[in-house]
Structure 1
Amino acid sequence: MTRKVGTEEAIQRWNRFADAYAANHTEQGDIHKEVFLNPALFSLMGNVKNKNVLDAGCGEGYLSRMLAKAGARVTAVDYSPRMIEIAKERTPNGLPIRYQQGNLENLYDLEDQSFDLIVSNMVIQDLADYEKAFQEMHRLLADRGCFIFSILHPCFITPESGWEKTIDGHKLHWNVDRYFYEGAYEQRLGDQEKILFFHRTLTSYINTLIHTGFHVESIVEPKPAKEMLEKYPSFAEDLRCPDFIVFQLTN
C-alpha cells in the first residue's frame, strides 16, 4: 500500500517507464499478452473489419496495429505522452490509426456513441477513478456496441499476493491477502520504476458496471492453450490460478 495518490501520479510513473515497457513488446505485445490476453480478447471481439474501434489505453500501440491490420478504423488513446510518441514511431504509414493523448477518466473531445467496439487491455487498474472511466466508455459506445476490458484478476492479484515457496524455491501455493483493501499500491516493474495499481474487489467492479448501465455478456479467466504451453512450458504454473480476467459488455 502507499499514501493517497491519484491518476496523475500514475501517469508520471508510466511516462518514465514507457521506454522500458515498450522495449519488452513485440508485435504480439509482451509474453503475457501473447499467451493469455490476445487469444481471449480476439475471441470476444470477433470480426472487426470496418468497425470504428477505440483502443482505450493503447500503450506502445501493438493492439491498435493488430486491429488496424484486421480491417478496423482505430482511435488509440493513452494517458502517457511518451507512450503515444512510441506508438506513432512504431506504426507503419498507411495503417488507419489515429493516436491521441487522453485519460480514460475524461475523453471529452471524443463524440458520444462514436465507437462500435471499445477494447481496454490492462488499463482500468491504472486509473484512480474507474467509475468515471466506465461512464466514459458507456458514453462513447454506439448502440449495440461492445466494450471489452482486461485487468489483473482482483481475486488473486491483490496488494499482498505471491507464491509461498520452500527454502529451495519450490512453489507450494499462491498466497492472497488484503483482498478487501481498495486503493493504490505499488508494484515494481523493471529495474527501477514502481508502478501504481489501484485494487478493487470483484464485487466493486461488477456492481459498478451494472450501475453504469452495462450488461455483462461474458467473463473469461484466460489460461494458456496447449500450443502456448508447448512454446512456453513454464506457464504450466498458471493452470493453478488465474492472473487475469476479461469482461465482455454491451450497453
Structure 2
Amino acid sequence: MKQNIYDNDIFFQGYQQLRATESGLNAALEEPALYALLPALSGLDILDLGCGTGKFCRLAAATAATVTGADISQKMLQEAIRQTKAANVTYICAPTEELTFAQQRFNLVVSSLALHYIANYQQVVTNVFQWLQPGGQFIFSVEHPMCTAMHHAQWQTDEAGNILHWPVDNYQEETIRHTTWFVENVIKYHRTTATYVNTLIQAGFRIAGLHEPLPVKEYLEQRPSLVRECRRPPFLLLAATKPSI
C-alpha cells in the first residue's frame, strides 16, 4: 500500500501548524527557489503533483489557463478546496503513480517536496514526459539525498550543543527509509542525485537546471539559526524541458 501519512490526524495537525507559522524551511528556502525557476504562467495548462493544500495552485490560477492539483491526502485536498475560489482550478485525490492524463495535456508540471514519498520515480518521470507538450517543463524539488541517505539523520553536536556536522552514510543504497517527523515511521525513498538527474535524461528530458539553494536573506536576518542550512543542502531542485519537435 502507498503511505498516506498526511491523513494521519497527528501528522496533519503538526504539518498545518508548521505551515501556519512558517517555522520550517518551505518559505525560507524551498518556495523562493522553486518559484524562481518557473516560466511565465500566463495561459499555461499546469499540473501540480502532490499539491497539498493548494498554495501553488492558487498562485498559478491568477494567470494560468487551467491548474490541476493532485494529492493522495483527502485532508490536504479538503483544505485546498476550502481555500480555493478560482474556477480554473481542479483537484484530484489519487496517488501520483496512479494518475492518468491525455498525452501533451500540460505545458508545465510542478512538484514541491513530494517525489521522495514516491516508490517508482522512474514511472512518474515517464508519465510526466508523455503528459507534457513539446517544449513543456518539469520543475520539482525533493529532500536532498544528503538528508535522505540515513534513516534518522540529525545534526551532530558536541557536549555544549554546538553543531559539529551533518552525517551521511549508505548514500549509494537506494532503498526505503523509515523516518520520524511528527509521527514515527514516515516512509521516504532515498535516491542519489545521479539517479534523479539520469532518470530525467533517459526519459528524454533536457536538464535546464540543478539547484541546491540557500535560505533567502530576509529569513536569515529574522532567524539566525538558519545559517546552519548553509552547511549542507536541505533540498535539491531540478528543472527539465521536453524537447520541441
TM-score, structure 1 as length reference:
0.88
Q: Which residue of 2 is the match for residue 14 of structure 1?
A: 6
Paired position in structure 1 for 2:24? 31
Q: Look up the match of 2:158.
A: 166
Maintained 8 Å contact 2:113/2:141: yes
Q: Which amino acid aligns with 1:145?
A: G
Match of 1:82 in 2: 75
Q: Across the two proteins, how many residue pairs are aligned to each other?
A: 239
The alpha-carbon distance between structure 1 residues 243 and 67, as it changes in their structure 2 partners (threshold 3 A), is same
The answer as to whether partners of 1:125 and 1:152 remain within 8 angstroms in 2 is yes
Structure 1, unmatched stretches of 5+, are 1-7
Q: CA deviation at 1:105?
A: 1.4
Q: Secondary structure at the match of 1:99?
A: strand
Deviation of the 1:71 alpha carbon? 4.3
Q: Does 1:105 align with 2:128?
A: no
Match in the other structure for 1:182: 174
Match of residue 220 from structure 2: 229
Q: Deviations over 1:166-220 (max 9, x none)?
A: 1121101111111112111122112x34311000112222221111111111011
Distance in structure 2 (CA, Å) of the matches to 1:67 and 1:164: 40
Check whether the contact 2:148–2:177 (CA below 8 A) recurs between aligned residues.
no
Moved more, 175-184 or 113-122: 175-184
Question: Runs in 1 of length 4+ with deviation above 6 angstroms?
Answer: none
Does the 8 A contact of 1:60 with 1:83 survive in 2? yes
Matched residues in 2 for 1:103 and 1:205: separation? 20
How many angstroms apart in 1 are the aligned matches of 2:89 and 2:203?
A: 28
Following superposition of structure 1 onto structure 2, how do residues 91-240 of structure 1 map, counting pairs within 5 Å?
A: 91=84, 93-94=85-86, 96-108=88-100, 110-160=101-151, 161-190=153-182, 192-240=183-231
Structure 1 residue aligned with 2:37, among 41, 44, 54?
Answer: 44
Q: CA deviation at 1:19?
A: 4.1
RMSD: 1.9
* Cα 1:225–1:117 shift into 2, 3 Å: same
8 A Cα contact 1:73 1:97, kept in partner: yes
The unaligned stretches of length 5 or more in structure 2 are none
Give, in whole Å, the separation in 1 of the partners of 2:2 and 2:50: 16
